[in-house]
Amino acid sequence: MVCCGIRAPWEPRGPLTDRWYNGLVAQSTGTPGFGKSQSVKRTLAELGVAIIALVILFLVARFALGCAAESLATQLPLSVDEQIGKAGAEQLRSKYDLGRRPTDEQIKRVDRIFNELRAALTDEDAEILKNPRVTVVADPQVNAFALPGGEVFVLTGLLERVGDDDDLVRGVLAHELGHAVKRHGIRGLARKTAFFAVVAMLVGDVDGMVVLLAEGASQLDGLSHSRSMETEADLFGVDLLKRAGHDPDGLARFLESLDSAPVPELLSTHPDPRERAAAIRELAKAGGG
């Protein structure tokens, strides 16, 4: 017995009954062929799963290539850091040269603090950074960054932000020198150009990789470092400040000042300021590692 197009569970159904039943469903839903509709839905679902799998595979491959490129970059001779740093410095000076100039007082202040820290570098650090130097740029952004090879750029917006507190400037410079010594700049550039960098290194084309990295050198002022790199630079900064005879708390206080009044330019490349400030104080208590 069939009532309202629903077959009783005990009632057999043959080909004719099936055709009649599907016809009723088609009339009531406006869809010609309920079975085909279900098949389409299954196909779409399978397609969706396949697309998600491809996206995941792409992300995993991209991450793996990035890690491989970063690892290979550390095998490059230190002279490459100098080449990339020089190319980056030229490009960045042109980028920031808008007719403004830092004051003599700002330049002398940063030079004095930087030279204190430079004198505290270990022999091993000095082997990596053959000629560390600092450049002050007249720009309102609150930012500082290190280039491969050891040149550190300090923007006057940062100096105006910290006022007369030299410990804050000292903390920032120590941290940036950490990025340079640990070769974070060249590793970050290699990660950004992962596929081409890996291919160049695997075929032994070091010159090709240098050209590739140099082309991205103008982006070094906005290069975002990983959490592990920031931690590594913080640890280096704490050690360097202690060797120079200064309190590492200056770096922690600078980071806290960013957290209390966020500065987009610097936070984009130096995340989690309050968390890092707490970690820096713990490192200082533990003797810097």
Q: CA dihedral defined by 53, 59, 60, 62, rounded to 10 degrees?
A: 140
176 catalytic residue (yes or no): yes
What string of DSSP letters covers 206-255?
HHHHHHHHHHTGGGGGGPPPPHHHHHHHHHHHHHHHHHTT--THHHHHHH
For residue 70 the two structure tokens come to 């970063």
Side by side, which strands form the sheet with 144-146?
133-137, 151-155, 144-146
Q: What tens digit of pLDDT does each residue of 205-255 get? A: 556 555 656 666 666 676 778 888 899 999 999 999 999 999 999 999 998
Rg (C-alpha) for the chain, rounded Å, is 30
For residue 200 the two structure tokens come to 């160049």
Where do the domains of the chain lie? Answer: 57-285
Predicted confidence at residue 186, as pLDDT, reads 82
From 124, 176, 232, 275, the catalytic residue: 176
Q: What is the overall mean pLDDT for the chain?
A: 76
Report residue 275's pLDDT band, with 50, 70 and 90 as the boundaries.
confident
Tally the residues of the chain. 289
Predicted confidence at residue 3, as pLDDT, reads 47
CA distances from 244 to 118, 119, 198 (A): 9, 8, 39
User: At residue 171, does pLDDT exceed 90?
Assistant: yes
Share of the chain above pLDDT 70, in %: 58
Instruction: For residue 117, give the amino acid letter.
Output: L
Whether this model's pTM surpasses 0.85:
no
User: At residue 114, does pLDDT exceed 90?
Assistant: yes
User: At residue 92, does pLDDT exceed 50?
Assistant: yes
